[in-house]
Amino acid sequence: MIFRKYQQEDLPQILRLFHDTVHFICSGDYTAAQLDAWAPDSFDTDVQKRWHCTLTEHFTVIAEEGLVITGFGDIDDTGYLDRLYVHKDYQRQGIASGICDRLEAHASPNIITTHASITAKPFFQKRGYHVAARQTVERHGILLTNFIMKKE
């Protein structure tokens, strides 16, 4: 397993990983409609450009095994941990912890904030994050619950 920086050619594999992981791993906590709103089957060009932009602007870590991207995560300069996803076939192998260790080490603020799904909340709690607020967010007209979590 290697950890490296994001490259533009990673984007198609990252988008597929995101979709598949959300639909497989989070299916016990969210409805099919919520999963579709959160992670649609396809991403238009504008969405792909936005993802590439933020992954490039943020400190982004890619976990890779051979030619397979097994996980990714990113954090911005304010300490907002935006995304952290591990391939559905590579769960519970320490990949999320390895990525998160690198993201947290890179963060310059004293407080790291993330918006964690119901599914991810226990992972972040084990890492010392606390729930600052429960919130409902809207994606494509569908409401989803997540948690604003902070680590100081």
What is the tens place of the pLDDT at every residue in 25-60? 999 999 999 999 999 998 889 999 999 999 999 999
Give the per-residue pLDDT at 29: 96
The length of the chain is: 152
What is the tens place of the pLDDT at every residue in 119-143? 999 999 999 999 999 999 999 999 9
The rounded Cα 16 to chain-centroid distance in angstroms is 13
Residue 80 has pLDDT above 90, yes or no: yes
Q: In whole angstroms, how far apart are CA 147 and each of 19, 23, 38, 93, 113? A: 20, 19, 15, 24, 10
Q: Where are the chain's structural domains?
A: 2-108
Determine the Cα–Cα distance for residues 18 and 85; give it in Å rounded to an integer: 7
Share of residues in the chain with pLDDT > 70 (%)? 100
Question: What average pLDDT does the structure give for the chain?
Answer: 96
Residue 1's nearest CA partner among 85, 91, 62, 81 is 62
Other C-beta atoms closer than 10 Å to the C-beta of 96 total: 22
Residue 68's nearest CA partner among 7, 24, 2, 21 is 2
- CATH number corresponding to 2-108: 3.40.630.30
